[in-house]
Amino acid sequence: MDNHCPVCGYDFKEPVQDSMICVCCGTQFGYHDSVKTHVQLRNEWRNDGSKWHSQRVQPPLNWNPEAQQRHTGNFDGGSVTQTKRRENHSVSAKKAA
Ligand SMILES: [Zn+2]
């Protein structure tokens, strides 16, 4: 059972249901995702800086919105791929040095 937000990948630790609001990206299920796709909502959230939505619930320790999005299942890979490239680059640079 996948309990991650389909928009931002946040782990709800319980099944996602209609009318639930994601504390991370602010998506209200059955409402926001009835007029837009999860990819559209994710892109909007990302374009707004991947901000933590909730004022009452604090983000998890060491919260990483980019890493979290891998749990969405249809993540486009953009920034994660870039991060991987940077890591690979620094690794090969170390080897060369
Ligand atoms: Zn979310």
Containing domain of residue 31, as a range? 1-57+65-97
Q: How confident is the model at residue 77 (pLDDT cuts 50, 70, 90)?
A: very low
Ion ligand 1: residues, CB < 5 A:
5, 7-8, 10, 22, 24-25
d(CA 63, CA 67): 9
State the total domains in the chain: 1
**Average of pLDDT values for 60-68?**
93
User: What pLDDT score was predicted for residue 54?
Assistant: 97
User: What pLDDT score was predicted for residue 27?
Assistant: 97
User: What pLDDT score was predicted for residue 16?
Assistant: 87
DSSP bridge pairs for 21: 28
84 CA → ligand 1 middle, Å: 23
According to DSSP, residue 94 is labeled H
**Average of pLDDT values for 9-33?**
94
Asked whether the beta carbons of 10 and 72 are under 8 A apart, the reply is no
**Average of pLDDT values for 44-61?**
96
Task: Choose between 59 and 88: higher pLDDT.
Answer: 59
Asked whether the beta carbons of 8 and 22 are under 8 A apart, the reply is yes
Highest mean pLDDT of the ranges 11-15, 29-33, 82-86:
29-33
7 CA → ligand 1 middle, Å: 5
